[in-house]
Structure 1
């Protein structure tokens, strides 16, 4: 793991984090995720405004299911 990866580790689940695909973490939900021991987070696409859910472990790489062809982990 390089130093930039280390500095990002753990930050992706902080409310307000924006990943490289312009997807913003709006916060953790009480819903269980689809990956082992994960919770779902509410995400918003800063390009089209679409909101959707993502596993905490996927926030760093999520793409919008509406305008970027990303997977939809849960319906809002």
Structure 2
């Protein structure tokens, strides 16, 4: 159920910065302020775009990198 809620929130067209931060926090299981590929694997779409979000190619997606999802 948690996965469905997170995925639904992640791709809502009216996502705000606050909602994006909440989604990031929910996905960041180990609370290190970075999303790993394993944490992103909760959703196939997020997995597919993970490398595109990882702008600095460090293998993680930061809150700043993740925030591009709120832009339309």
TM-score by length of 1: 0.31
Q: TM-score, normalised by structure 2?
A: 0.32
Higher relative contact order (CA 8 A, sep 6+): 2
Task: Give the number of the structure whose alpha-carbon radius of gyration is greater.
Answer: 1
- Structure having the higher strand fraction is 1
